[in-house]
Structure 1
Amino acid sequence: CIQTGKTIDDEKRLRFSANEFYFKSFAEMQQALPDYTDAITNTVQVAQLCQYEMEFGHYRYPVFHVPENISLNELLTKNAEAGLKTRLEQKEDEEGPLSEEVIREYEERLSFELKIIQDMGFAGYFLIVADFIEYARSSDIPVGPGRGSAAGSLTAFCLRITNIDPIKYGLIFERFLNPQRISMPDIDIDFCINGRDEVIHYVAEKYGRDNVCQIVTFGRMKARAVIRDVGRALNIPLKEVDHIAKLVPEGPNVSLERAIQEERELKRLEEGEGPAKKLLRISRGLEGLARHASTHASGLVISDRPLVEYLPLFKLSKGEIMTQFTMDQIEKLGLIKFDFLGLKTLTVIKYSLKLIQETSGTSVDIDRIPLNDEATYQLCSEGRTTGVFQLESSGMKELLRSLRPAVFEDIVALVALYRPGPLGSNMVNDFINGKHGKIKTKYLLPQLESILKETYGVILYQEQVMKIAQILASYTLAEADELRKAIGKKKQKVMARHKARFIEGAAKNNVDPKTAKRLFTLIDKFGGYGFNKSHSAAYAMIAYQTAYLKAHYPVQFMAALLTQDMGNQDKTIKNIAECREMGIEILPPDINESQA
């Protein structure tokens, strides 16, 4: 009834005509069909012939064709080294002549990363991602500067997969790819929302339509929703169902079991008589079951062979072909999934640049704008950030006015600070007061200054936790990444082992056990709030770019924003109000002037 939208009182609802819709045993079939014993026996033989063993334990990479007489590893090295040369030339243009020491640092880092990537067998993965990103760029489809931990890879930066210099911003490769833990790299890509499907089409054509497929995701019956669904099917009055559903606390992980234990009224209804008891009993049984299938927001699987050889597929109502297996199941099979995300802000930036070119004749290279622009930081410091990526909520505006960012690293920190953990602790106040010199930044040990100076003594980033473990306790960065994961997952047994390891390592660096314990407690407490600096830096770049456009080209930026948000009435009203606040006149549609 839930699936078909009917009620149990409906005589025409879908129902089984008998109670024998189940797989019968051999004996039951013999009794039902005594004259067909051979046929029944043959069905067993047919079933035994239909054996399929799923293979686990190795990856099934898409076939990336390389020129003759060159391997995937050699091509990756060649492309990455050429990319590094270009990146260093750009850096020299922006910052002046580079010392041999700086050049050597980049070369050694790239060599280190390439060895790990190649040893782990991931050269093809990087080449595939670089290829479809290059297609997007050449097709005038904007690509984000990075997302997640991939921004910590110099190789990705050299291949133009990302556009954040990991060395400049102190980002760590091992946070992205840990050589001690063999798992696929995970490079999520943001595309202009209008161009994402075109990139997916390119990938399908390149690797074969039968080898490329979007991934299913299942909407499940959660506590409140299942009560509403069951209530509708049982034909219980909406007002009564709504009352019962609202007794369930809101939240992502609230179960009916927990809600009934904690809410007296629900407990009373379950123990009483009447329709509410039946409603809750059935709802408990259905909670957590898949309610409907839909397309995963970003996941795409690309295989070396037709996907039907590895997993079942199906069609949604609109004809889209999906995997029947979820993302996790696909990864267990060794199939390679890629995340293609559509980001509206990239579309706004693209249209802003188009309007700037058309109205002023100025060509703005958004990837080469100065990161020390005073007008941009002034706009942010005054909280005039409606429409600015990541910085437009009222709480963020308040934080901007308090912090008054003056350098790009401040924007990076803001993205990391504006989360429940830091906001609920004293981290934000310590950061702001430290920045403005209201309190003197103190370090538990002198060695911590180089790690925590940029955040005024606050452990804000996961990468800082890793650096502390490396410098003070002689962890490798790969080991430090394991510590970072253990802190995030609150695994007490694992943390106990790390604590002993940390204190032992710190002792070798002349840190006494008492201080080492205090430091470990500190990183355990605040490291849990730590944010991925690679992701923060990448999204801070988009935030800065949109703030720059709003500061220098306000009319074009707001026009682009209004165009992109035209289907959302609330946002349109907000954007029009912002235009008026900025002194920008909003004209009515004009058949001769409007560019529709």
Structure 2
Amino acid sequence: GYSLGGADLLRRAMGKKIAEEMAKERPKFEKGAMENGVDKKKANQVFDLLEKFANYGFNKSHAAAYAVVSYQTGWLKANHPVEFMAAAMNCDMHLTDKLNVFHQEVKRLGIEVIPPCVNRSEALFSVKDGKVVYALGGLKNVGAEAMRLITDARLEGGEFQDLFDFARRVDLKRVGKRPMEMLARAGGFDQLDGNRRKCLESVDGLVAYSAATHEDRNSAQGGLFGDAGEALPAPRLPMPEDWLPNERLGQEHTAIGFYLSGHPLDDYAGALKRKNVLTLAELEQKAAGGTVMAKIAGSVAGKQERKSARGNRFAFVQLSDPTGLYEVTVFSEALEKFRDLLEPGQNVVLSVKAELEADQLKLLVQGVQAVDKTVADAASLGLRVFVSDETALASIATRLREVSSNTEIRGRGPVHLVLTHPSLPGEVEMALPDEYPLNPQVKGALKHIAGVQTVEEF
């Protein structure tokens, strides 16, 4: 006996899952049903079904379709995980936060990611040899269409040999200066020149050279043998020292939106362990046994401040460590005290109360400290530097000379060079005569030198 308007009110109450409105509709439903010859008991049974459906319900065809899609999706991920993850990343290619979540899932599945590269990547995410190849179009402020100019040129003429070959074959004016800068920051030119800072500072010169080359080629004023544009002299590019590891990662984060090739806390692992600072993975295991107080390190990715009903400010802060992403809650007192340390890009150590609620880790911040301050007195006893190219020795000496004058680094220790070369009978280790200020940043700076294979603590 509902009117069209009355029926729409019932529909709206069901669709919006408004319990109070549904309760108001029950007497109307019962009365109308009895007026139409339906007894009260049967009317109540029917309305109970409507009420149950209002909590969360689908019609059967809708539910069946969802079930089929869910099964197909699960089957694809289980049986073709690499292709599935690449396709998922293409669906949300311009949503950095989602790409970061997908990247963490790819790591969890043990799938290798090939970083963005003008000689290996496509405009979209792709798969090669069981690995996900990061999309050139997945960088921030970079369009897939502009990146197809690069992939089309590579398809036509083969891999690019150097930066000048790249500029001659791709019309960089059409690609744009901003996308070129993002490619440089993300390491897209690493195969052509491993100095990312040089690549970034060379963008203006390369774009101008590319424009002149293409203009010359299109003017039909080339040489007798059709070598238009090839004879133009290459510009002189700047030759700056490359960024130190943390700045290099910071530039990569600017272009990609998260850390892909490493993490700012990688070089701090040993020192943090000596200070009993847990990783996210370790804290999750510990919290499974009950509420714990612990320390965890992280690089701040984002912060949202809110105001409670009482007018107190609090914040949700997103961080990451080498094992994953996590979020913490910071109440007003801690927020007021540590706000400056909780800005994006800061590397910090948090004292937290951790507990699992419905399999989700809840973290409440009690204290915050800069990571360098935490590990200031936890330097390694010494560093062992593995060198495969003698040209690295001069750079190692320069870096050690620079840190020797740094009075802020408290810990000092020995440095051993381990020479590895096919001409040697084996590894040759020798200790340098002095002791040097040592901390995770020094370790990272040495590891970044060309010709250094790795750096170990001892």
TM over 0.5, shorter chain: no
TM-score bucket (shorter structure): under 0.3
- Give 1 or 2 for the bigger CA radius of gyration: 2
Q: TM-score, normalised by structure 1?
A: 0.20
Identify, as 1 or 2, the structure richer in helix.
1
Higher RCO, Cα 8 Å, sep 6+: 1
